[in-house]
Amino acid sequence: MPRAGRPLHGSPRRNFIRAALIARPVASVSFSEAVAVGLGGIIGAGIFVMSGTMVSLAGVGALFAFVMTGLVAVIIAMEMGELSSAMPQETGASYSFVYNAFGSELGFITGILLYLSFAVSISAIALGFGTYLSSFLGWGGGTSYLLAALLIVALTSLNLRGVSEAAKADFFIVAFKVVVLIAFIVFALVAGTALSANLAQPPKDGISGVFSASVIAIFAYAGFQSIATMTPNIRGGGRTAAKAILVAVAISLVLYVLVTVSLLALVPASGYAFRADPLSFALESAAAPSWLFVLVNLAALAATASATLAMIIAGSALMSQLSKDGLLPGVLGRMRTKRGTDVPTLALTAVFGIVFMFLGDIYVIAAVSNFGILFSYLITGFALVKIRRMRRHPEKHKEALQAAGIPAQGIFEMPLFPFLPALGIAILIAFFFAFPPEALSIGIGLVLASLITYYALREDRDEPVIRIRFFR
- Give the Cα separation of 127 and 185 in Å (integer): 24
**Quick one: pLDDT at residue 168?**
67
Residue 251 three-state SS: helix
- Cβ(87)–Cβ(406) under 8 Å? yes
Peptide bond into 25 cis (omega under 30): no
Query: Is the per-residue pLDDT at 398 higher than 80?
Result: yes
The number of residues making up the chain comes to 472
- Cβ(213)–Cβ(63) under 8 Å? no
Residues 6+ apart with CB under 8 A from 226: 37, 38, 40, 41, 310, 311, 313, 314
Most confident among 50-59, 86-95, 179-188 (mean pLDDT): 179-188
Residue 208 three-state SS: helix
- Give the Cα separation of 407 and 394 in Å (integer): 9
Q: Does the reported pTM lie above 0.85?
A: no
**19 band by pLDDT with thresholds 50, 70 and 90:** very low
- Cβ(22)–Cβ(195) under 8 Å? no
Query: What end-to-end distance do the CA atoms of the chain give, in Å?
Result: 20
- Cβ(427)–Cβ(82) under 8 Å? no
| Cβ atoms within 10 Å of 157's Cβ, excluding its own | 11
Residue 103 falls in which region: left (phi positive, over 0), alpha (psi -120 to 50) or beta: left
**177 band by pLDDT with thresholds 50, 70 and 90:** confident
Give 194-201's long-range contacts (Cβ < 8 A, gap of 24+): 194/264, 194/265, 194/266, 194/267, 194/268, 195/261, 195/264, 195/265, 197/268, 198/59, 198/60, 198/264, 198/265, 198/268, 198/269, 199/60, 199/264, 201/59, 201/60, 201/269
- Give the Cα separation of 316 and 303 in Å (integer): 20
Q: 432-449 pLDDT, tens per residue?
A: 887 778 778 888 988 999
Query: Is the per-residue pLDDT at 1 higher than 60?
Result: no
The alpha carbon of residue 388 and the mean position of all alpha carbons in its chain are separated, in whole angstroms, by 23
- Give the Cα separation of 121 and 115 in Å (integer): 10
Q: 342-363 pLDDT, tens per residue?
A: 788 888 999 999 988 876 666 6
Taking residues 78-103, report their average pLDDT. Answer: 87
Q: Domain spanning 28-460: which superfamily? A: Amino acid/polyamine transporter I (1.20.1740.10)
Query: Is the per-residue pLDDT at 11 higher than 50?
Result: no
CA distance readout (Å), 280 to 121, 138, 293: 21, 13, 7
Q: 148-173 pLDDT, tens per residue?
A: 999 999 998 877 766 556 666 667 88
**Quick one: pLDDT at residue 363?**
60
**383 band by pLDDT with thresholds 50, 70 and 90:** very high
Q: 94-140 pLDDT, tens per residue?
A: 899 999 999 999 999 999 999 988 888 888 888 888 887 887 888 87
